[in-house]
């Protein structure tokens, strides 16, 4: 190989490393069990709302506290606390992607993305308050 080819390969490898580090979080979806094993660490968990248990939200008592139950892709169910207003149409969502961490057996999420069933509706994202 010529010296210029080696230099170009090194530059391309360095550029790929820089791009990967800039876009950092290529995480996959986890389960409640893996989040429980590493309590306090932030995870992305995908699941389905337990519509039988419903969503508990009373804006007159606390407008920034919403509680509901979600079953993840492995079938594990967990209570979820969202420090924000109840996301619009959460009951109609097909899937829910939550970003947060497990604390004392309860998943505390700071962001919720709802996958809407209609191909004509865009996904909705709700971001909670820090706390």
Claim: this prediction has a pTM higher than 0.85: no
Q: Which residues contact 50 (CB under 8 A, 6 or more apart)?
A: 68, 69, 70, 71, 77
Q: Are strands 106-115 and 77-82 parallel, antiparallel or unpaired?
A: parallel
For residue 25, what pLDDT is reported? 54
The pLDDT value given to residue 70: 95
- Torsion-angle region of 36 (φ positive above 0: left; ψ -120 to 50: alpha; else: beta): alpha
Q: Which helix (H) or strand (E) holds 110?
A: strand 106-115
pLDDT band per the 50, 70, 90 thresholds, residue 79: very high
The answer to whether residue 18 scores a pLDDT higher than 90 is: no
- Top pLDDT among 21 and 113 is at 113
For residue 90, what pLDDT is reported? 87
pLDDT the model gives residue 116: 72
Whole-angstrom Cα distance, residue 84 to residue 79? 15
Q: Alpha-carbon distance 76 to 58, whole Å?
A: 26
Mean pLDDT of 61-69: 93
Which CATH class name applies to 27-127?
A: mainly beta
Domain assignments of the chain as residue spans, ordered by start = 27-127
Mean per-residue pLDDT over the chain, rounded? 84
Mean pLDDT score, 22-31: 69
Residue 121 has pLDDT above 60, yes or no: no
CA–CA distance, 113 with 111 (Å, rounded to integer): 7
Whether 118 shows a pLDDT value over 70: the answer reads no
């Amino acid at each position: 190989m010529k010296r210029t080819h080696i230099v170009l390969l090194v530059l391309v490898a360095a550029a790929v490393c820089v791009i990967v580090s800039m876009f950092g979080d290529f995480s996959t979806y986890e389960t409640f069990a893996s989040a429980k094993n590493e309590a306090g660490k932030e995870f992305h968990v995908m699941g389905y709302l337990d519509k039988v248990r419903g969503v508990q939200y009373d804006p007159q008592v606390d407008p920034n506290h919403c509680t509901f139950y979600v079953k993840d892709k492995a079938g594990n169910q967990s209570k979820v606390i969202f420090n924000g207003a109840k996301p619009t149409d959460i009951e109609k969502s097909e899937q829910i992607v939550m970003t947060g961490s497990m604390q004392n057996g309860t998943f505390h999420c700071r962001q919720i993305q709802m996958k809407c069933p209609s191909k004509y509706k865009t996904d909705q994202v709700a971001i909670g308050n820090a706390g």
